[in-house]
Amino acid sequence: GDLHGDLSKARRALALAGLVDPETLDWVGGETVAVQMGDILDRGDEEVAIFELLEKLKAQAKRAGGALHVLLGNHDVMNVDGDFRYVTRGAYEESARWAVAAGETPK
């Protein structure tokens, strides 16, 4: 938990847990069931990149007979509720780039 938009911290944590190859970031956890405890959002600039990595790993874990569950933390819920006081400028910019790539118009 508490990755807070820090992709390098997320990568290190997943590798230290034996869930990903530190070079390729592919699932190596086999049949392991892992739970990410939330707080992916706020305080860091790489929130979308973390979500993309976790989604990739969820699919790879499922194919390997394992699972990766991602829970919402209080900062994730705050964002859903429109409370952006901890969102960084970099996170806003990353989200805007992602929205444009997805064909959306950022607000």
61 domain residue, yes or no: yes
55 domain residue, yes or no: yes
Give the pair of three-digit tokens for residue 3.
């990755």
Query: Given this model, what pLDDT does residue 33 score?
Result: 99
1 domain residue, yes or no: no
15 domain residue, yes or no: yes
106 domain residue, yes or no: no
- Walking along the chain (107 residues) 10 residues at a time, the average pLDDT comes out as 94 98 98 96 92 98 99 92 92 87 81
Q: How far apart are CA 78 and CA 16, in angstroms?
A: 29
Number of domains, the chain: 1
- The range of the structural domain enclosing residue 83 comes to 7-101
Answer whether 29's CB lies under 8 Å from 61's CB.
Answer: yes
107 domain residue, yes or no: no
Catalytic sites, residue numbers: 75
Answer whether 64's CB lies under 8 Å from 30's CB.
Answer: yes
B/e letters for 48-59, b = 16+ CB within 10 Å, e = fewer, are bbbeebbeebbe
